[in-house]
């Protein structure tokens, strides 16, 4: 067997035209020394399965129109490595070869064209976008107006849509078949600006489709759309409103609008059943209406929404309730392990609630008289800038990391003698700059690194029950 392997390696070296002294082995590949072709530096990667392929590693030119070669010395150019053109401020037009999206093409590395601020147009000579990393590859290309495929159409009529990938008005779409059903997907959308008009026939929006777009201000999700991928609108810095109300979207995906700093308005669909992790975190949403069919809301779905002053739940919703502008889960949704949920909430009886999210203008929290609050599994109060006083109620069994992070006005934290929370969690009070007093109950046995940035801390009462304190805790 060893003889066979040695023979195959020797044959590969002969075919690649690279001497054994210039080969570096890595995993299942061998790499040549770095070589030069015009403005490009590259390496030849060889493998038994794919043969030889060229990886572009660097570019030193200052051309306004950059056309990457399809091959170099007869070897296919299959990959543009990470950061190759990053911060290029001269390039205005980029022409990518067909080999990048070919059968063996590996595509574009992360941040390959990041912050190419003069880039306006990308022409792609291939029919697939597998492994393209568009969301990060072109991040910061603020003047990018157009993607152009080998297949481009001008009509917005469904009847004129070709099968496979195509571009319309510089946006990448795809028509494909799954389980004998034809679907129409919006894949990547760099030129969107203002109130972007999605074609009516689109039934799904891909992961990262609008991510890092700094020009779009509002979007209405069409009726036919049933799914929107993770982080589809993440970090769209000027997005102010998003309307799902007419759509068929059941799941508000992970990070869908995370970091949209100007987002103030969100309308959910009556068909929406779940709101996933970080869906609207670090936005400026000022109100949210949880409709009847919503059965799962992640505990970090609205993390650090410091303008969320109005939380409402429709009367027909059987899972959630708002009391004193705090959102609670009142019924176990039973979705443990389903719908990509990490867990279901643990509710021991009908008189129990789980604290999910507090409105940002809450000034104090002491629990409820009529219900037993079991705990808070996420960043429940994070970013509540007006919160000054907290008393953890009796039977309160657990908190979580960063529970009060960035509560910049919080002054006092206390625990009822019958509270059951076992720990002060990691970064629980991070950046609570005015926190002065912390008094904890005998239920606590462990204090993690939870006081980072608490510069005003004067008094901590630690009971004998505490047996472990992280070495980084500043007391």
Res. 473 pLDDT band, cuts 50 70 90: confident
DSSP per residue, 306-359? TT--EEEE-TT-SSEEEETTEEEE-S----TTSTT-S------STTEEEEEEE-
Q: Give pLDDT tens digits for 286-313.
A: 999 999 999 999 989 999 999 999 999 9
318-323: average pLDDT: 94
Start-to-end CA distance of the chain, whole Å, equals 64
How confident is the prediction for the chain on average, in pLDDT?
87
Instruction: At 81, give phi and psi (nearest 5°).
Output: -70, 170
Q: Give pLDDT tens digits for 9-44.
A: 444 444 444 444 354 544 578 999 999 999 999 999
Look at 291 and 148; give whichever has higher pLDDT: 291
Instruction: At 136, give phi and psi (nearest 5°).
Output: -105, -30
Q: Which of these ranges, 78-87, 89-98, 252-261, 336-345, has the smallest mean pLDDT?
A: 336-345
Q: What are the angstrom distances between the C-alpha of 50 and each of 7, 375, 376, 406?
A: 17, 54, 52, 51
d(CA 263, CA 259) in angstroms, rounded, equals: 9
Instruction: At 21, give phi and psi (nearest 5°).
Output: -70, -15
Looking at 198-318, which runs of residues are DSSP E strands?
Answer: 204-205, 216-220, 227-228, 241-243, 251-252, 265-267, 274-275, 287-290, 296-297, 310-313
> Is the pTM higher than 0.85?
no
Q: Strand, helix or coil at 97?
A: coil
Res. 158 pLDDT band, cuts 50 70 90: very high
Q: What is the pLDDT of residue 165?
A: 84
């Amino acid at each position: 067997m060893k003889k066979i392997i040695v023979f195959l390696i020797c044959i590969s070296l002969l075919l690649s035209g690279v001497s054994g002294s210039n080969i570096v082995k890595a995993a299942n590949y061998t790499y040549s020394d770095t070589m030069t072709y015009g403005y490009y530096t590259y390496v030849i990667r060889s493998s038994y399965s794919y043969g030889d392929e060229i990886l572009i590693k660097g570019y030193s030119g200052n051309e306004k129109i950059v056309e990457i070669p399809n091959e170099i010395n007869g070897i296919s150019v299959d990959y543009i490595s990470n950061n190759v053109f990053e911060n290029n401020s001269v390039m205005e037009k980029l022409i990518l070869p067909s080999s990048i999206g070919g059968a063996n093409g590996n595509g574009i590395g992360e941040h390959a064209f990041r912050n190419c601020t003069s880039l306006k147009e990308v022409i792609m000579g291939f029919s697939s976008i597998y492994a393209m990393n568009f969301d990060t590859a072109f991040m910061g290309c603020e003047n990018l107006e157009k993607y152009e495929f080998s297949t481009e159409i001008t009509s917005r009529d469904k009847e004129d849509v070709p099968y496979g990938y195509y571009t319309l008005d510089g946006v990448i779409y795809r028509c494909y078949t799954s389980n004998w059903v034809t679907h129409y997907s919006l894949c990547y959308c760099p030129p969107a600006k203002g109130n972007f008009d999605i074609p009516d026939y689109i039934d799904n929006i891909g992961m990262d489709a609008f991510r890092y777009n700094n020009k779009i201000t509002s979007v209405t999700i069409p009726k036919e759309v049933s799914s929107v991928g993770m982080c589809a609108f993440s970090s769209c810095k000027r997005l102010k409103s998003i309307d799902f109300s007419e759509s068929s979207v059941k799941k508000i995906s992970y990070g869908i609008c995370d970091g949209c700093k100007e987002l103030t308005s969100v309308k959910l669909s009556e068909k929406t059943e779940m709101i996933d992790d970080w869906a609207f975190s670090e936005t400026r949403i000022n109100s949210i209406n949880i409709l009847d069919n919503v059965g799962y809301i992640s505990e970090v779905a609205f993390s650090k929404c410091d303008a969320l002053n109005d939380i409402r739940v429709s009367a027909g919703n059987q899972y959630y309730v708002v009391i004193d502008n705090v959102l609670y889960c009142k019924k176990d949704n039973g979705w443990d392990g389903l719908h990509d949920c990490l867990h279901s909430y643990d509710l021991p009886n009908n008189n129990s609630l789980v604290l999910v999210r507090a409105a940002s203008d809450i000034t104090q929290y002491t629990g409820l008289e009529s219900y037993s609050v079991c705990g808070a599994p996420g960043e429940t109060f994070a970013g509540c800038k007006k919160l000054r006083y907290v008393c953890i109620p009796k039977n309160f069994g657990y908190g979580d990391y960063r529970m009060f992070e960035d509560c910049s006005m919080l002054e006092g934290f206390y625990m009822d003698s019958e509270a059951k929370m076992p720990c002060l969690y990691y970064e629980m009070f991070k950046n609570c700059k005015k926190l002065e007093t912390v008094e904890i109950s005998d239920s606590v046995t462990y204090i993690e690194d939870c006081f980072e940035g608490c510069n005003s801390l004067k008094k901590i009462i630690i009971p004998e029950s505490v047996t472990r304190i992280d070495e980084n805790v500043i007391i």
